[in-house]
A and B are shown apart, each in its own frame.
Chain A
Amino acid sequence: MLKTFSLGGIHPEENKFSAGKKIEVLPIPTQVSVPIAQHIGAPSTPVVERGDSVKVGQIIAKSSGFVSANIHSPVSGKVFKIDKVLDASGYKQMSIIIKVDGDEWEESIDRSTSLNREITLSAEEIVKKTGEAGIVGLGGATFPSHVKLSVPPGKTCDILILNGVECEPYLTSDHQLMMEKGEEILVGTQILMKALKVDKAIIGIENNKKDAIEHMTKLAEQYKGITIQALKVQYPQGGEKQLIDACIGREVPSGKLPIEVGAVVQNVGTTFAVYEAIQKNKPLFERVVTVTGKSVKNPGNFMTRVGTPVKDLIEAAGGIPENTGKVIGGGPMMGKALASADVPVTKGSSGILLMPDELSTRGKTESCIRCSKCVSVCPMGLLPYLLMTLSQKAIWERSEEERVMDCIECGSCSYTCPSNRPLLDYIRLSKGTVGQIMRSRNK
């Protein structure tokens, strides 16, 4: 009997079309636009000006607070302009647009592919360098990693959990990364363990990636303290709180962070980025992006520079199929439909999904039939049907009492609802409003 989290969960069709596809390096585009807000927290402050020449890996926007991240140039060339450009949400956002000229890297970056196992930096230096390299959670939430690695005073961390779950259907970027860069991920894990001063790490991998479990288990034999945990396939196991529950059986209290139960969770992609930053001096400016979909000609995993237009990625996968209804940034469960294919890839883009028409439209919203399916699938033990009604009627106090802020927005409730009710949409609205009320109360 495989482990999984205790509450709710669903198992949608996996559709991992791009599984086993080697990571291809996407050609560098002629122009990139790098948004200055690619992470949770304060947007970064640009430190380059129009006309400046930049090299690959050069810092172009500095972090503007503790919860913020540096941004590095993904290409070499000239800064064309700093202007508002359409981002994935359809809103205009300040971006640094760079015209590409050659591919000249910063001298400090070690471009060799040799594995470097020896960790020379101290714990504090690792945290500092992670921050400098602009590393954020690559699972999709884009929370600055150095913040997670700085354990607040009074709290202790005794275990590091790595997220190799990739519970979103369709996506395969983390899977492929584990297959190809397994050793690097394990060294990265050791770096993180050193930074957190823990001697135990678990890498959770879902059982639909048997090759990855086997591969990683074999590699991990040489590394002390790292174990691989096979997990039952269940969405949303990649959620921090669900993964902690699945791996070590601890429950994070409502409204608290995982550190409360002594755990820190990092994604395997992030761990690879940490390895590159610490051992190779390479800041985060590229990532693996899955491009996939039912009728996509050549679904695959692409090593993509941040700022590359999404349409270049789609082109590399064989273009937009005729019957495409939506282009989704991220996975099918939590991803968001893109308003345009010109938007750039950011640090948080884990996948580009081309959904055919028939799968991409919502059905007609019907009345709630009280079937309670949403309640049974909610991994946080909430009552989605009630939260939606409270949100529609603007009863915010009650919403707060019903723990609306605990919602992880996994979308299981909307997925399972037979009446096609927009449950998550209204819960998000409620989260936004209740969050505002709570913040104003704390002031």
Chain B
Amino acid sequence: MNVVLITIITLSALGALAAIILYFVAQKFKVFEDPRIDQVEEVLPAANCGGCGFPGCRAFAEALVKSDDITNLNCPVGGADTMQAAAKIVGKEVGTAAPMVAVVRCNGSCENRPRTNSYDGAENCTIAATLYGGETGCTYGCLGLGECVDACNFDAMYMNEKTGLPVVIEDNCVACGACVEACPKDIMQLRNIGPKSRRIFVSCVNEDKGGPAKKACSVACIGCGKCEKVCAFDAIVIKNNLAYIDYEKCKLCRKCVTVCPTNAIHEINFPVRKPKPPVEKKLVGKVEEGTVKTPTPKPATELKAESPKPAAKVEKAETSVKKDRVVEKKDDSTPEKKDKPESK
């Protein structure tokens, strides 16, 4: 009996002593963490994609709470709603970042860009890019091994097997920039979504002079400068034989699309141009004035810019296809594209 008692007393005394020591140690080494960090983290999407520039949502939440000015911070996945919710918690003003989307700046499908050799090394764009220039005469274009697709955490990309090019599913794209990081050829770019998801961009990154560029790929930008001349807003710059459209200056007038001799400039989600000017006036009524005056030189065939979705993608994806249209010359139309009925 005595033994049991002594044991209990000793252990209790030890426990109490340890508790007292631990209490003071904990007081001494206490790390204060703002409870708002947890709250902010709650409202963030928990995708941990790094699209905000921070390593994960927790780090972003910390940045939101700790920095004084958060107008430059943005969560591309959550968008404005998430940022507003976070701003409410931390009691600061947030900036209004225009939503972005990833675009593929290469249209070198098998028809447009003939193969000159074949690669049978490791299926990885970075490895292929360090080894050699690619399977075609264009050393700038897409290698087609799908590292961007592998990098995408949001199911927003897939490889189109017919064209060998990646396709962005706009509805899923959160503009985290993982594909931009992954692409060794700098083909992926984040651009402004634009009003009504309409945007214009040069779908080429070839910096060769006109002759070699055109020889390697029929839809390459040849740096002719026609678009630069026709642009009334100074939005287009030609550098290294390559046109670049600044999306912040571009007013979506589409003049450049019309003058481009190689159809390297793509327009996305615009209504179809009809050969008759009055009809067109109605259709593009809401767009900038410039467009209306531009007559379409030739009847254009309607085509999809970012080719069809795999069967698995359901209705939601289907809607985004409907919007993707590009005006291209007839001779460029591919058999694959012809097969597809024009979207309803």
| Interface, chain A (partner B; CB < 8 A) | 84, 86, 89-92, 336-337, 339-340, 361-362, 422, 425-426, 428-429, 432
Ordered by A's residue number, 8 sampled pairs between the chains whose C-beta atoms are within 8 Å are: A89-B131, A89-B133, A90-B132, A340-B116, A425-B122, A429-B127, A429-B130, A432-B130
| Interface, chain B (partner A; CB < 8 A) | 116-117, 120-122, 124, 126-127, 130-134, 139, 208
Tell me whether B120 and A336 are in contact (CB under 8 A): no
Chain A residue nearest in CB terms to B128: A425
Tell me whether B127 and A425 are in contact (CB under 8 A): yes
Provide the residues of chain B in CB contact with A362, threshold 8 Å. 120-121
Provide the residues of chain B in CB contact with A425, threshold 8 Å. 121-122, 124, 127, 131
- Beyond the given pairs A84-B208, A428-B130, 18 more chain A to chain B contacts, judged by CB atoms under 8 angstroms and listed by A's residue number, are A86-B133, A89-B132, A91-B132, A92-B133, A336-B131, A336-B132, A337-B132, A339-B132, A340-B116, A340-B117, A422-B122, A422-B127, A425-B121, A426-B124, A428-B127, A429-B124, A429-B130, A432-B130
A337 to chain B, nearest CB (A): 8
Most chain B CB atoms below 10 A, which of A86, A90, A340: A90
Chain B residue nearest in CB terms to A433: B126
| 7 residue pairs, one from A and one from B, having the closest CB atoms | A90-B133, A422-B122, A90-B132, A425-B122, A91-B133, A425-B127, A89-B132
A421 to chain B, nearest CB (A): 9
Q: How far is the CA of A148 from the CA of B130 in the complex (A)?
A: 27
Provide the residues of chain A in CB contact with B127, threshold 8 Å. 422, 425-426, 428-429
Provide the residues of chain B in CB contact with A92, threshold 8 Å. 133, 139, 208
Provide the residues of chain B in CB contact with A361, threshold 8 Å. 120
Tell me whether B133 and A339 are in contact (CB under 8 A): yes
Q: How far is the CA of A91 from the CA of B132 in the complex (A)?
A: 6
Provide the residues of chain B in CB contact with A426, threshold 8 Å. 122, 124, 127
A278 to chain B, nearest CB (A): 37
Chain B residue nearest in CB terms to A392: B124
Q: Which of A337, A339, A422, A432 contacts B116 (CB 8 A)?
A: A339
Provide the residues of chain A in CB contact with B120, threshold 8 Å. 361-362
Provide the residues of chain B in CB contact with A84, threshold 8 Å. 208
Provide the residues of chain A in CB contact with B117, threshold 8 Å. 90, 339-340
Q: How far is the CA of A339 from the CA of B116 in the complex (A)?
A: 8
Tell me whether B121 and A422 are in contact (CB under 8 A): yes
B217 to chain A, nearest CB (A): 14
Q: How far is the CA of A176 from the CA of B77 in the complex (A)?
A: 65
Q: Which of A91, A336, A339, A429 contacts B126 (CB 8 A)?
A: A429
Given contacts A361-B120, A362-B120, contact A91 B130 (CB under 8 A): no
B222 to chain A, nearest CB (A): 16
Q: How far is the CA of A337 from the CA of B121 in the complex (A)?
A: 11
Q: How far is the CA of A422 from the CA of B291 in the complex (A)?
A: 53
Most chain A CB atoms below 10 A, which of B117, B122, B133: B122
Chain B residue nearest in CB terms to A84: B208
Provide the residues of chain A in CB contact with B130, threshold 8 Å. 428-429, 432
Provide the residues of chain B in CB contact with A339, threshold 8 Å. 116-117, 132-133
Provide the residues of chain B in CB contact with A340, threshold 8 Å. 116-117
Tell me whether A90 and B208 are in contact (CB under 8 A): no
Provide the residues of chain A in CB contact with B132, threshold 8 Å. 89-91, 336-337, 339
Q: How far is the CA of A362 from the CA of B120 in the complex (A)?
A: 7
Q: How far is the CA of A327 from the CA of B127 in the complex (A)?
A: 20
Provide the residues of chain A in CB contact with B121, threshold 8 Å. 362, 422, 425
Q: How far is the CA of A362 from the CA of B122 in the complex (A)?
A: 10
Most chain B CB atoms below 10 A, which of A86, A91, A339, A362: A339
Q: How far is the CA of A422 from the CA of B120 in the complex (A)?
A: 10
Q: How far is the CA of A336 from the CA of B130 in the complex (A)?
A: 12
Provide the residues of chain B in CB contact with A337, threshold 8 Å. 132
A417 to chain B, nearest CB (A): 12
Chain B residue nearest in CB terms to A92: B139
B24 to chain A, nearest CB (A): 38
Q: How far is the CA of A83 from the CA of B110 in the complex (A)?
A: 28
Q: How far is the CA of A259 from the CA of B312 in the complex (A)?
A: 61
Q: How far is the CA of A163 from the CA of B133 in the complex (A)?
A: 32
Q: How far is the CA of A84 from the CA of B116 in the complex (A)?
A: 18
Provide the residues of chain B in CB contact with A90, threshold 8 Å. 117, 132-134, 139
Q: How far is the CA of A408 from the CA of B116 in the complex (A)?
A: 31
Q: How far is the CA of A428 from the CA of B122 in the complex (A)?
A: 11
A153 to chain B, nearest CB (A): 35
Q: How far is the CA of A425 from the CA of B117 in the complex (A)?
A: 19
A314 to chain B, nearest CB (A): 16
Provide the residues of chain B in CB contact with A336, threshold 8 Å. 131-132
Chain B residue nearest in CB terms to A432: B130
Q: How far is the CA of A426 from the CA of B130 in the complex (A)?
A: 11
Q: How far is the CA of A86 from the CA of B208 in the complex (A)?
A: 12
Q: How far is the CA of A108 from the CA of B136 in the complex (A)?
A: 45
B11 to chain A, nearest CB (A): 45
Q: How far is the CA of A425 from the CA of B123 in the complex (A)?
A: 10
B56 to chain A, nearest CB (A): 16
A307 to chain B, nearest CB (A): 20
Provide the residues of chain A in CB contact with B134, threshold 8 Å. 90
Chain B residue nearest in CB terms to A88: B132
Chain B residue nearest in CB terms to A89: B132
Q: How far is the CA of A422 from the CA of B208 in the complex (A)?
A: 32
Provide the residues of chain B in CB contact with A89, threshold 8 Å. 131-133
A414 to chain B, nearest CB (A): 10
Chain B residue nearest in CB terms to A90: B133
Provide the residues of chain B in CB contact with A432, threshold 8 Å. 130
B322 to chain A, nearest CB (A): 37
Q: How far is the CA of A1 from the CA of B124 in the complex (A)?
A: 44
Chain B residue nearest in CB terms to A83: B209
B84 to chain A, nearest CB (A): 35
Provide the residues of chain B in CB contact with A422, threshold 8 Å. 121-122, 127
Provide the residues of chain A in CB contact with B124, threshold 8 Å. 425-426, 429
B27 to chain A, nearest CB (A): 36
Q: How far is the CA of A372 from the CA of B127 in the complex (A)?
A: 24
A290 to chain B, nearest CB (A): 22
Chain A residue nearest in CB terms to B130: A432
Q: How far is the CA of A187 from the CA of B57 in the complex (A)?
A: 68
Q: How far is the CA of A337 from the CA of B135 in the complex (A)?
A: 12
A402 to chain B, nearest CB (A): 19
Chain B residue nearest in CB terms to A91: B133
B122 to chain A, nearest CB (A): 4
Q: How far is the CA of A309 from the CA of B141 in the complex (A)?
A: 26
Provide the residues of chain A in CB contact with B133, threshold 8 Å. 86, 89-92, 339
Provide the residues of chain B in CB contact with A86, threshold 8 Å. 133
Q: How far is the CA of A272 from the CA of B15 in the complex (A)?
A: 83
Q: How far is the CA of A91 from the CA of B184 in the complex (A)?
A: 14
A388 to chain B, nearest CB (A): 9
Provide the residues of chain B in CB contact with A429, threshold 8 Å. 124, 126-127, 130
Chain B residue nearest in CB terms to A86: B133
Provide the residues of chain A in CB contact with B126, threshold 8 Å. 429
Q: How far is the CA of A426 from the CA of B131 in the complex (A)?
A: 12
Q: How far is the CA of A432 from the CA of B134 in the complex (A)?
A: 19
